[in-house]
Each structure stands twice: as C-alpha cells, then as structure tokens.
Structure 1
C-alpha cells in the first residue's frame, strides 16, 4: 500500500509538470543565456568599444579625402618704420585676408592604406573580445540554470522521503494504538518525519538560493517572475561519441575567439609596422588656396580704398606641391619599429600560451567528463542495489525482523544514493556543456 501511494505521488508530480505554468513564464536554457547576454553590463561596454573601433575605421578611410578649411584674419599696425635710406615715416595700416584652402596627400608610401588595415584588424579583435564576454556570460548562466534543476530534483527526493515517513508514522500510530508497536517506535517515526520536514524546508531554501543566483547571472528585473523549463535535452543525451569528442577538440582551434583575437592583433601590428616605415620615405602633398586680401594705409585716410573692390581686385589662386623628405627624426621610426616588433613577439607568446591553456582545459574537461560518465554508471548500479536493500528492509520491518532504526538507516542510504546519482548526472551534464561552449560558444551552433 505504501509503495502504491509513493508511486501515485510521483505520477501526480509528473502530471503537474507536464502542464505549462500560467502564472510564470517558462524559460529554456537558451532563452536565459540570450537574455543575460543582452542585459550584461560588461557586454554592453564591449559593444560600445566595437562601435568605437568601427568609427576608427571610418576616420582612417577619411584620410584619403581632401580636407577643406576656410581662413580669415584681421590685423592692424600702428607706429613708424625706417626705410633703407634712413627716412622715418608713419606706417599705420589695417589689413585683412579671406579664403578657402584644401590639401590632399598624393604620395605616402601606403601609410593611409596600412592605417586602414590596422584599424580593421583592431575592430575584428574587439569583436572577438565581445564574443569572449558573451561566452563567459552564457557559461555562468548555464551553471546557475543547472544548479536550479539539481536543487529541484533533490527537493523532489526529499518530498518523497517526507511523504514516506508520514505514511510510515501513520502506520505505526495505528499499530501503537492497537498495542502492537511500542511507544519508542512511534516516537522514532515522528522524529524521522520531523527531520524530513526540516530537510524539505532546507531544500526549498536551496532552490531559492539557486534561483536568486540565476536571476543575478541574468540581470533579471526584481519584479519579473520566471519558471525554468526542465525539459533540458542535455539531460537526455549524456553520451559523447569519440568522433564527437574529436570534432569538439578540433573545432576549438579554428573557432575560439581568443585565438582569433590575437591573430587579428598580430595583423594590426604588421600593418602598423608598414605604416611606421612609410615615415622613412618622402611624401608629396597637394594644397590649393583660393582667397583675397584687403589693405588700407591709415595715414591716407580710412575708407579711401573700398573693401569690396580690393577683395575683388586681389582675388588669387595658389596651387602647391609640397615634397617632404625625412632626414633626421631623432630615431623615432627605429624606436617605434622596435616597440612594434616586441609587441608582435608578445602577441605570439600570448597566443601560444592560450593555445596551450585551452588544450589543457579541454583535456581536463574531457577527463572530467569520462570520469563522471564512469561514476554515473557506478552510481546507477549502487542505486539499484540500494533500492533492493531498502525493499527487503521494509518487508523485514513489516514482518518484525528488524527495528525502525535499521529501516531508517536503510532509507537514509537510499536517499543518499539517489542524491549522489543526481549530483553525478548533473556534473556530467555540466562537463558536456563546458565542452560544447568552449568549442562552439553557444548551444544553437
């Protein structure tokens, strides 16, 4: 009878979980990760940096275009001056210039082109930084999400244990009322039920703590209530074939954003080196100026030379080709090339270090996955034997062959075996998820 009631309890729980919750939204793991990525502050800052790098590209490309500047000035001079014959004379005057000037780089030995290439590579590296932050956010949310599922399953185990102890207490109460069982057995059954009720309260607290950690990882609004979707396909597909493991490992070297980031940084440094070397060669600039000027000798009287007439009569155009030949720049080019070379070496060393680190991490994750896979098989075997032992203990207690203390010890062993199996299963799921996230960055790829 007790076994039937326990089975009925699990059937009702499964039936209730099959209906959607109308009070709260059902969120899948992917939805939680996507929401967290959109709300994460570090991701938002990284997006702004990507936008800034895009502006740098536009600025570098704009260097190819001519500039256009207007100029104007007004000046006045008072006093006397001496000519070459020693004669002194007043030189009070008023002058003004007005015009438009433009300049364009005609020859710069690829400096502008390489600056554009450098800006584009830095922008790509910034995008990889953004992808890294997204990956870290997704992993953090996935870990919190699985922790909620784990605590919910443990709570269901505790609930079933509390229900069993309640039924056992009722059964012993009737037996005690009939004078068959002693009072000590009844008190022990009540104490066991009280402990199970306490475990229920602790289990609910663990669910609340895990849910709070998930809300924090998602940056969820305080007034928004959600319920997580427990139909996680990773819980159903735990095994990875050797071919899948090989694909994940090989995919890591081609697609991981941190590796691509340093490749782009290296490209940026190579383009920067070419841009620095361009300063060793002559450059040619074209400039065009169009304007006029006004001059009035104040000693002859203000206004005798009309302003507008002078501007019209003094209108002129000037075209200039400027050749700049570098001779000595205090070894600035040499020093900048040395710094550039050191930076390239640093990036290469950092890339090699990261590749080694990722290889070790993947080996560690694969080792953990295989170990948890073995542990799951062993824990399932141990759980099956513990269930058989508990079933025998229950029959023995009903037959009066063992005490309630032995029955409670057997029931505690069963609860521990079930909890250990669930913990190992979720450790296996998280190890698999880490492998997928490290290699692909998301579950949708």
Structure 2
C-alpha cells in the first residue's frame, strides 16, 4: 500500500504546476481552473492501481526459496518457447482433424432471389413496364471416392507431423533442463565462493590489525604493513567480484524461468553434492540416447513424412473419381401459372452422378512434384544421419568432460589440502613475527587460487556427471 501511494505521488508530481499552495483553498481554485488535468490524473491512477495489485498478487504466489525441481516445474508451465511449441502442436492436431474430414462428403446450400424489370409488348402493340421476381434454391453434395491414395497418405502424414510436434516439445524440455541445471549449479558455486572469500577477508582484516600492532611496536617495517593492507584490498575486491558473479548467475536463472525482474529469490542448497559416481560406458550411453532421444525420433519420423509426400505426389498420375448429387427448384413470377408452390413443385429436380478426372498432360507439374519429393526424402535421410552424428559426438564430448572434471576435482582436493596447510603454517609464523611478509603473501595467494580451483572443480564435476547421465535418460537431481 505504501509503495502504491509513493508511486502515485511520483506520477502526480510532474503533472502539477509549480505553485505555492498555502491552504486548501489554493487546491480548490486550482481544480476549478484546470479540471481536465485533475480528471486525467484521477483516471490514470485508477488504471495503474489494478496493474500494481495484479503484480503484487503474482509475486505473492512465487516461493521465496527454490529447489531444482521447482525450477523445472515452473519452467515447464511458463517457458515461452515451450508454450509456443505447444501451440504449434495444437495447430498440427487441427491439421490432422482437417485431413480426416476430407474423406467425408460436403454439403452446400444455395439460395438466390432476383428482381427483374423491363418493358413487355402485347400483340396489340401496347407496351408496359413489368417487374418479375425469380428464385433458385438448391442443395449440393460431393464426396471423393478415389484419388490415388492421396487422402489416406495425407492423414498418415498429418498424424506423423503431430507426433513430431510432440517430440519437439520433449527436445525443448531437455534443452531447458540442462540450461537450468547449469545455471542452478553456477549460483551454488558463486554462493560457496562468497562464503570462502568472506572468511579470507575476515582473516586478512585480523592480519592487518595484528600487523598494525606489530608496526606500532617496531616488530615489522612499514613496507610489511603496506603489503598486508594491499592484500586486504585485493581480498575485498575478490569478494565484490564473487558477489557480482552471484547476482549475474541469479539473473541467468531468472531469465530462464522468465520470472518478474523485480522478484528476488534464493535457491535451496543440497545437503550433499555428489561429484564422483559410477561412469557408464560411452557406447552404452550412446546406444541409449540414439534409441530414446526425441531429436532422433523426430528425424526418423521426418523420413516417413517425406516418403508420404512422395506417395502424395505420385497420386497426381492417377485418376480421381468423385460422386456428386444435387436437389433444387426455381420460381418465376408473372408466368401463365404464377402460383409459387405449384412452380416449385413443377421445377423440382434431382441429380446424382459420378465424375472421373484423368490427368493426361499436366505440363510437367506432377513429375516435378515427384522429383522434388524424392529430393526431400534424401534430405531427410541426411538430417537423420547428421542428428545421430551430432548426438554421438556430443555424448562423447560429455564423457571426456566427465573424465577431465573428476580428475581435476581429485587434483584440486589434494592441491587445496597442501596449500591450506602451507597457509596455516605461514599464518602461525606471522603471528609470532617469524614469517617473511612476502613469503606469507605468496602462501596466501596460493591458498586462494587452490580454493577457487577446488570450488570450480567440484561444481564442474557435479554438472558434467549429471549431463552425461541425462543423456542416458536419468532425471537430473542434486
């Protein structure tokens, strides 16, 4: 409520002239002098407040803390690309219904009523102007009995295209899942990095304080104190960088989920983060992906769709047999017998028949369609081959990434262990004044580098193993 009032003040203020109001009478006079401006302000505020309330209600429905599964669920419901693909599938469903209905007979009715005027001459030579009315009424229907299998193939093709649309949705879900997982782990990485860097900054502040005391009593030179302060400034810079990276990673996740820009959220940290697990054989994962991934199935269906296009094109060489029928009657006023219903009965007609249309010379239209359909079949086969090649290469790269990430993590753990111990020893020596400032700062920088490498390696290993398992069909979980 306070925000709405504040916004109202901000909106109203530029619209009010700079006038010194000393009492309520000034406001009253201003209203009567410029009532249109006040009415405009009032209407504007009435239109703004519902939108503000709608935004507030939307924000209240969002959780303050998200886990990974909540991110997946929210994206599946609200992602624009996914919803666009769902609409495309709905359009494909309508195309399928239309192709099935093409086998049914149609039915059209027609009614025409005309007013005709003109002169008429009698046998005696007299002329007169007469106005007659005419009416024609009919019902027509036709159904295709044979079209070279075109209608059946069209139904099969539209059914396959509906399946392809569903597979496109599944492929988009897979892509979003990987992107959200990566963004989520990047946020966790940044948060952990902030915690460690905050500890480093706190330690640096204590060391500067101790160095100041030692300098005051003459235990260290001024250059040593300056070096400690410079290190503290560098550590604070690292902290600011880590905090900025954390904000940037949150923005990436917010964009993937398409959350409101003003919404602030946190993510839930897992109790443990698995970074080393059983690594399945590369060939096993590739075979599983080739058998189950939606992009492969979509490309396989694409070949069937192209084959049906070829069959539909070849139907142009065959004759078409159509059955049709019609009922109708007509009426003309001014005749010898102008009774409306009598004329309708006398003029009532019925018609039923068959029409056979045989293509003889189509100026190469059918042949061109057939040849282009053959090219499309070959193109679809190349798409399938390219899809399989890219998928197997991507999985192989993921396999290599997992091996590298796990090796880097093991090495980072060992590196952190020894650099942490070296930094601890150098810190103890600094406390008692037995350490060289330069040596101490070297040990500290080595520790910070090892710490950042460890954090990066841990989350990199966690991400790569999950992506690799995801290609095998295992849902992503932390």
TM-score under structure 1 normalisation?
Answer: 0.83
- What are the residue-to-residue correspondences of 1:3-82 with 2, within 5 Å? 25-74=64-113
Q: Secondary structure at the match of 1:53?
A: helix
Quickly say closer, same or farther: Cα 1:441–1:135, change in 2 above 3 A: farther
Q: CA RMSD of the aligned region, Å? A: 2.8
Shift of 1:265: 1.6
Q: Which residue of 1 aligns with 2:408?
A: 375
1:292 paired residue among 325, 329, 333? 329
d(CA) in 2 for partners of 1:215, 1:124 = 31
d(CA) in 2 for partners of 1:39, 1:322 = 53
> Stretches of 4+ moved more than 6 A in 1?
76-80
d(CA) in 2 for partners of 1:24, 1:315 = 73
1:155 paired residue among 181, 194, 209? 194
Q: Which residue of 2 aligns with 1:393?
A: 426
Q: CA deviation digits over 1:18-63, x for unaligned, max 9?
A: xxxxx96221223223323433322222221111110000000101
Quickly say closer, same or farther: Cα 1:133–1:163, change in 2 above 3 A: same
Q: Secondary structure at the match of 1:344?
A: helix
Q: Secondary structure at the match of 2:143?
A: strand
| The 10-residue stretch of structure 1 (350-359 or 112-121) with the greater mean CA deviation from structure 2 | 350-359
**1:308 aligned onto 2:341:** yes
Q: Which residue of 2 aligns with 1:436?
A: 469
- What are the residue-to-residue correspondences of 1:250-399 with 2, within 5 Å? 250-296=287-333, 304-399=337-432
d(CA) in 2 for partners of 1:31, 1:246 = 33
Contact 2:189 2:459 in 1 (8 A): yes
Shift of 1:297: 5.7
Contact 1:24 1:225 in 2 (8 A): no
Q: Unpaired runs of 5+ in structure 2?
A: 1-61, 120-129
Q: CA deviation digits over 1:72-113, x for unaligned, max 9?
A: 234577889xxxxxxxxxx99754321212112223332211
d(CA) in 2 for partners of 1:398, 1:258 = 62
Shift of 1:183: 4.8
| The 10-residue stretch of structure 1 (30-39 or 44-53) with the greater mean CA deviation from structure 2 | 30-39
Q: Which residue of 2 aligns with 1:133?
A: 172
Q: How many residues align?
A: 408
d(CA) in 2 for partners of 1:24, 1:413 = 40
Contact 1:106 1:286 in 2 (8 A): yes
Shift of 1:127: 2.0
Q: Which residue of 2 aligns with 1:241?
A: 279
Shift of 1:322: 2.1
Q: Secondary structure at the match of 1:440?
A: coil
Contact 1:29 1:232 in 2 (8 A): no
Contact 2:115 2:132 in 1 (8 A): yes
Q: Secondary structure at the match of 1:150?
A: helix
TM-score under structure 2 normalisation?
Answer: 0.78
**1:103 aligned onto 2:148:** no
